[in-house]
Amino acid sequence: MIRFLLKGILRDRSRSILPIIIISIGVMLTVALSGYMRGAFGDMIDQNARFSTGHVKIMSKAYAENQDQIPNDLALLGIGEMVEGLQQDYPDVEWVPRIRFGGLLDVPDESGNTRAQGPAAGMALDLLSPSSTEIERMNIDKSIVSGRVPQNPGEAIIGDEFARKLELSLGDVFTYFGTTMEGSMTFKSFTVVGTIRFGSIGMDKGMVIVDVSDAQMMLDMEDGAGEVLGFLKGGVYKDEVAVEMATAFNARYEGDEDEYAPEMFPLKAQNNLEGLLEYGETMSGLFVFIFVLAMSVVLWNTGLLGGLRRYNEFGIRLALGEAKHQIYRSMILEATIIGIIGSIVGTLIGLGLSYYMQVVGIDISEMITESSMIMPTVIRSKITPELFYIGFIPGVLAMVFGNMLAGRGIYKRETAKLFKELEV
Amino acid sequence: MDTQPIISLSDVSKRFPVGDGEFTALKNINLSFQKAEFAGLVGPSGSGKTTLLNIIGSLDSPSEGKAVVMGKSISALSHRESALLRNHHIGFIFQIYNLLPVYTVFENVEFALLLQNRSADERKKAVMEALDWVGLSSMAHKRPDKLSGGEGQRVAIARAMVKRPAILLADEPTANLDAENAHIVLKMMKKLNKELDTTFLFSTHDEKVMKYLDRIVHLRDGKVEEDEIITTQQAAS
């Protein structure tokens, strides 16, 4: 019977083409939009993780409470020992100390007078250790616009846009003015060895990157760091793992009144990312819901029209001895076949679009020139395993559901009128 | 010969609601048909021919009286049981051939057997045999739109006969055919009636059909006016 139905579907274009087109478009939109949203949210989360939150982050309790102010006076101390302990306790996580700092950049002219000045957002990473993975993690190599990565103490890389604004060139020296963790004034000169563009407006406008040992010395933070970031091996954020790890870690310090006691935060508990993640999931769910609803209504109508067109056929089949439930079942089977074909076509086109958007992306840098958020300037789709079924299942369901509604008409058909109906 | 009637109607009446009242389409019909009869229900429009065919074909049930077809009381059958009875024992031929346009001649005839879940080999053999009966084996792979009116009706006969039903009900089967094709079709049906012992029951007011019938039941205003047995000499063979 399936073969018989398939022949009907293939030969009777008006029975199959319109529903297949409708489903294909719906599935394609669902796949492409889901892929785009996953890519956009994924990139945002990934960038936040790499630049700011890690997959988990440890700060002192007091630092965490005021972290927007970057209170390095409340930083963690004894970092070397702490990181060593963490590596042993959590071998599947890579731990890296980071120091964020703010201050003023002063660029002198040939005679030593100020030529240009600007506020800077500094980030200190482990750039000089041979075993450091920070350069790779931050994608610094590929983000360098000119020059190179610091290889010696006293070297810095600076945001390309920031460098142009301050008219800094490679080899130029600038002086950082700020405060130590004890609150006294500090200044240190760095040589610009590279300019960088991360593709994040918030960072490219005022970022300075130096080695963590330089920052420790400059800020009087011997063996200290504002934050210790943990990255799950494999580089993929797993919320359950991160939350479980943070809960277990924090349980050790529960009831500890010391404001310098460490506290661990999973990614989603930082930078309002929980809301962002939930928003992403809600939007994806909404897309699928709207798609199923809209497609079902359209396909219901298509099914009703099909039912009218095939009125004679169903009459003949009833007369030949096919029961109403058998006809209804065959209609659902046909709908399933058409739904599967439409969903395959739609999924393939949607994946193709997603792939294109993954490679090319949409440049939104013009739209976020004033933004200080850590977000990518090129939004790209991301092809994930979910995309292979996120549109497929609703596509089939919408077709089946629409035809289930439309097909109920067969139960209202009166066999007693068949002879009359089949005479016209 | 089996004397048990294949169709037995006792005091069958059929009423339809019309507005606030009722229209009586059949009044106390008492008829029986034996296996291999070639009979016709004849009468003017509104005489109850089609209503009677509906009841015999288990497409409708009587308001009163008892209709027994192939030993089954029509009134007692559920929708599924009625469908099963049609599927296995009753074939239908309509005024318009009503072939499924997207399927080939072979597939149109095969459809009735698909409903009986017969194997592919069995189906193929039966379909080709049925097309042989109506002389259309060479057109097995053509679509209905490539057939003439006469050929279309012959395919409809093959579709009705392929499952070798005990009863074949035909509603004005020659109404859309010219005289030549009507005779071809009727001769074919007469031949199948003799060869396969199928009971043919026509609803008609076509003189051409009447010439072939062995028995004519005249209906008027829902009643049997006359039940006429035609002798072998009278009926065309």
Amino acid residing at B94: F
* pLDDT at site B166: 92
- pLDDT, tens digit (0-9, with 9 covering 90-100), for A145-161: 999 999 999 999 999 88
DSSP-derived secondary structure letter, B198: P
Output phi, psi for B71, to 5 deg. 80, 0
Angle CA B193–B195–B199, to nearest 5: 25
Q: Looking at A73-87, A325-339, A370-384, B18-32, which range is the least confident one? A: A370-384
* pLDDT at site B70: 93
Mean pLDDT of B54-66: 92
**Chain A residues within 8 A of B86 when measuring between CB atoms:** 319-321
**Domain-by-domain residue ranges, chain A?**
2-47+275-423, 56-236
Average pLDDT, chain B: 89
Cα separation, B120 vs A345, in Å, equals 32
Beta bridge partners of B67: B9
Cβ-based neighbours of A224, under 8 Å, separated by 6 or more: A75, A76, A77, A78, A79, A99, A181, A216
Q: Are A63 and A76 in contact (CB under 8 A)?
A: yes
Mean pLDDT of A353-360: 91
Whether residues A422 and B86 touch (CB distance < 8 A) is answered with no
Of B72, B71, B79, B52, nearest to B63 (Cα)? B52
pLDDT over 90 at A277, yes or no: no
* pLDDT at site B153: 87
List for chain B the helix, strand, coil content (%; round to 5). 35, 30, 35
Interface test with A, best of B55, B70, B94, B146 (most A CBs within 10 A): B94
Angle CA B118–B120–B125, to nearest 5: 90
Answer with the residue of higher pLDDT: A47 or B229: B229
Q: Are A212 and A232 in contact (CB under 8 A)?
A: no
- Judged by DSSP in three states, B64 sits in strand
- pLDDT, tens digit (0-9, with 9 covering 90-100), for A238-249: 888 999 999 999
Show the tokens assigned to A369.
């020139």
pLDDT over 90 at A15, yes or no: no
pLDDT over 80 at A372, yes or no: no
Whether residues A319 and B86 touch (CB distance < 8 A) is answered with yes
Start-to-end CA span in chain A (Å): 28
Residue B6 backbone class (left: φ over 0; alpha: ψ -120 to 50; beta: rest): alpha
Cite the DSSP H helix spans in chain B. 49-56, 79-89, 105-114, 120-133, 149-161, 179-196, 207-210
Whether residues B87 and A420 touch (CB distance < 8 A) is answered with no
As a whole-number percent, the residues of chain A with pLDDT over 90 amount to: 38
CA dihedral of A360, A366, A368, A370, whole degrees rounded to 10: 150
Start-to-end CA span in chain B (Å): 21
Answer with the residue of higher pLDDT: A109 or B175: A109
- pLDDT, tens digit (0-9, with 9 covering 90-100), for A70-79: 899 999 999 9
- pLDDT, tens digit (0-9, with 9 covering 90-100), for B89-148: 999 888 877 888 889 999 999 988 988 888 999 999 999 999 998 888 999 999 999 998
Mean pLDDT of A154-180: 92
Packing angle between helix B120-133 and helix B179-196, nearest 10 degrees? Answer: 130
Interface test with B, best of A13, A418, A420, A421 (most B CBs within 10 A): A418
Beta bridge partners of A96: A229
pLDDT band at A366 (very low <50, low <70, confident <90, very high): low
Q: Are A406 and A306 in contact (CB under 8 A)?
A: yes
CA count, 13 A, side-chain hemisphere, A193: 18
* pLDDT at site B184: 87
Q: Are A268 and A53 in contact (CB under 8 A)?
A: no
- pLDDT, tens digit (0-9, with 9 covering 90-100), for A214-254: 999 999 999 999 999 999 987 778 888 999 999 999 998 88
**Chain B residues within 8 A of A312 when measuring between CB atoms:** 98
Q: How many helices (H) and strands (E) does chain B have?
A: 7, 10
* pLDDT at site B237: 47
Cα separation, B173 vs A342, in Å, equals 42
Cite the DSSP H helix spans in A233-272. 239-252
> Tokens 């049925």 identify what position?
B130
Mean pLDDT of B217-229: 91
pLDDT over 90 at B18, yes or no: no
Show the tokens assigned to B226.
């006359």
CA count, 13 A, side-chain hemisphere, A5: 16
CA count, 13 A, side-chain hemisphere, A236: 4
* pLDDT at site A352: 95
Chain B contacts to A (CB-CB under 8 A): 50, 53-54, 57, 59-60, 79-80, 82-88, 90, 92, 94-96, 98, 100, 102-103, 107, 110-112, 114-115, 159, 171-172
Output phi, psi for A210, to 5 deg. -135, 170
Mean pLDDT of B209-227: 91
CA B217 to chain centre: 15
Show the tokens assigned to B213.
């019938």
Dihedral sign (CA A143, A146, A151, A152): negative
pLDDT over 80 at A202, yes or no: no
Show the tokens assigned to A102.
């703010």
Average pLDDT, chain A: 86
H or E, element range at A408:
none
pTM of the model: 0.70
| Per-window interface: A 358-417 vs B, CB < 8 A | 415-416
Cα separation, B236 vs A212, in Å, equals 112
Residue A81, number of CB atoms within 10 A of its CB: 10
Q: Of the candidates A12, A323, A420, which has its C-beta nearest B102's C-beta?
A: A12
Mean pLDDT of A37-52: 82
Judged by a CB distance cut-off of 8 A, whether residue A318 touches chain B is yes
Q: How many residues does chain A have?
A: 424
Q: Are B198 and B164 in contact (CB under 8 A)?
A: yes
Whether residues A8 and B102 touch (CB distance < 8 A) is answered with yes
Strand stretches in A5-92, DSSP E: 56-60, 76-77
Biggest CA pair distance of chain A? 108
pLDDT over 70 at A370, yes or no: no
* pLDDT at site A22: 87
